[in-house]
Structures are given as C-alpha cells and as structure tokens.
Amino acid sequence: MELTTEPFDLDEAPAHAVVAREVIQSAELDAVDVGPFGNTAEGGADQVLTAVDSLLRRALASGATRVSLQVNVIGEEAR
C-alpha cells in the first residue's frame, strides 16, 4: 500500500501524519518505508486491511482532511 495524508505542512509534521506513520510502523507489515511525502508498506491481506482501518480512523480523528491510499494486490493471496 501507498498512502499520504493532508493537509501538508513543510515546517513540521502535522499530527495526522505522525499518527499515520505510527500506525504503519507498529502494524505487522513488511517493507515499511516512511517518507516526507508518502509512506509505503507491504504485507498479507489481513495485515494490510487491519492497518488501513486503523490508519483511516486515527488519521481522520487527528485532523487529516484527505487520505490518499493505493492498495495493490500481488500474488496468490489475491484470490
């Protein structure tokens, strides 16, 4: 999955961005990459869906006005 939260603040990470990073870093996901303009992570379907649920709820509760999320399904787990 790949995600960003808005609104952006180039001077300081907003609360919703910090929460989004905490969620994916603490989830049982593989290959987590946290960056200033987006975050990516990989994992099994159940782990990704659990992280997405938490991410959306917590980021929106922390002031995000938009969450851009892309989920790609790769491999046999897609069936």
Mean pLDDT taken over the chain:
90
Q: Kindly tell me the sign of the dihedral angle through the C-alpha atoms of 73, 7, 21, 61.
A: negative
Instruction: Return d(Cα 56, Cα 52) in angstroms, integer.
Output: 6
Question: pLDDT for 1-38, tens place per residue?
Answer: 999 999 988 788 899 999 999 999 999 998 899 887 78
pLDDT at 77 over 60: no
pTM of the predicted protein model? 0.84
pLDDT at 79 over 60: no
pLDDT at 75 over 80: no
